[in-house]
Amino acid sequence: MRLVASRIRLLLLDVDGVLTDGRLYIGDAVGADGGSSRVELKAFHIQDGHGMKMAARGGLEVGWISSRFSAVTSRRAKDLGISLLSQPAPEQKPPPEKLEVARLMVAKLGIGLEQVCFVGDDLVDVPLMKAVALPVAVANAVPEVCRLAAYVTQKPGGEGAVREVIELILKSQGLWPKLVSKYGIEER
pLDDT digits (tens, 9 = 90+) for 45-60: 999 999 999 999 999 9
* pLDDT at 169 (0 to 100): 99
Give the domains, in start order, of the chain with CATH numbers.
2-27+34-181 (3.40.50.1000)
What is the average pLDDT score of the chain?
95
Could you tell me the pLDDT band of residue 149, with boundaries at 50, 70 and 90?
very high
Distance CA 185, CA 114 (A): 32
* pLDDT at 172 (0 to 100): 98
pLDDT at 155 over 70: yes
Q: Which helix (H) or strand (E) holds 91?
A: none
Three-state DSSP state, 110: coil
pLDDT at 188 over 70: no
pLDDT digits (tens, 9 = 90+) for 76-119: 999 999 999 999 988 888 888 999 999 999 999 999 999 999 99
Counting beta carbons within 10 angstroms of the beta carbon of residue 56, is it exposed (0 to 12), middle (13 to 18) or buried (19 or more)?
A: middle
Q: With beta carbons less than 8 A apart as the criterion, state whether 153 and 161 touch.
A: yes
Distance CA 47, CA 50 (A): 5
Going by the DSSP 8-state scheme, the letter that residue 105 receives in this structure is H
In the chain, what percentage of residues exceed pLDDT 90? 86
